[in-house]
Structure 1
Amino acid sequence: MQNRVLLVEDDDELRELLARYLSGQGFTVREAANGRDGLALALGQHCDIVVLDIMLPDINGLEVLRELRSETHLPVVLLTARGDETDRIVGFEVGADDYIPKPCNPRELVARLQAILRRVAWDQKAEVKAERHYGDLRLEPDHRRIYQHNEPLELTATEYEILQVLLAHAGSVVRKTDLMQWALGRRLEAFDRTLDMHISNLRKKLGNDDPPRIETVRGLGYSYRVPV
């Protein structure tokens, strides 16, 4: 079965270029030229993953993302202006799974999409696994959910992957290079702050403990500290 991607981009030439390339790589592509149409298609469950431009003619892509996150955990990759770090930071805070700067390399976009889809698809084939407890957190691998004090944490697909890796190695340091590969499915590149932004979001969602339960080990990576 082909993966379905929704491409929300108002630049007709770029959208058609990416749609042709994605189709040639085995994706079923749906297109939207504005945010409202894209939001309707995404909420109508017409796709498995969304490629979303931030600058749209009707409603900002970040507003589309906020609406999506209030209703679904559908993976979202943002298209951002090259060098605009503010949009990327806000995008991760709202709940984006990844981003790629414009003008984008279609081959890189495909690699990013495939990496995310591999991570979220495994639970459809895996056997049911026993839940695990880490202090006030409960991990249910079969449902891909994590609960805190019996309340579900509203995590993106990428945040879930990062946190479950850290929990599996609780008390030990997970190197940034390993965490990037295991959770995001790609290599850590110089000046790439994607992982740092996701960690920052996770800390906020976990309650901003002092000291933080996700500790930064300078020069190495991160460690999850199970609160007593």
Structure 2
Amino acid sequence: MKIKILVAFIILGIISCQNKDKTESKSIIKTIAEDTLSKTVAGTADVSDAPVKYDKAVELIRKQLNVLLKKDLPALTKQDRFFYYEAFDLNNDKKDEYFVGFSNAYFCGSGGCSGFILNDDGSLINKFSVTDFPIYVTTSVSEKFYDLIAVSGGKFHLLKLKNGKYPSNPSVQEVVKEEASRESAKVLDIDGKKLEKYSF
């Protein structure tokens, strides 16, 4: 009987030691996490070892923008050299096209902003101007590409592909009712989706 009681005490001692080790381990992890969080919030965390986020589409767009905007580059400030993008398969070929937009004073004016539509290989489909974001992708098709609706001057304009290009100035295209955009997918919803901003 004494042996059974002794064995029971030994087992209880081992269990309590293991629980103490787990509690200490959790406490250490919690302390490290809280310290890292406070340093991150304060801006003192060392993130020099953080891996650089590589995005194939971003690199492709960045490279193309440096070509397309070669003449503009000397006039651009550091704050002007940012873009947003969103991918969308415009022609159902299982390859995304890229909508690229800007939201700074260099690329935007009272009529809207400039932007580009690029193929999945980075080649230019279209440059457009005086457009407010988002752009709407309709279900109707012209030349195997979805028609677009762009807002310009507070009006909704229908953009159809013609000879491999969308119109570059939406403001002079056919005006459609706002209801036409409600059934459409939104791309480059810069404010609504809080899209990530990238430098180029």
Place the TM-score, normalised by the shorter chain, in its bin. under 0.3
Please state which structure has a larger fraction of its residues in helix: 1
Structure with greater Cα Rg: 2
Please state which structure has a larger fraction of its residues in strand: 2
Relative to the length of structure 1, the TM-score reads 0.22
Relative to the length of structure 2, the TM-score reads 0.24
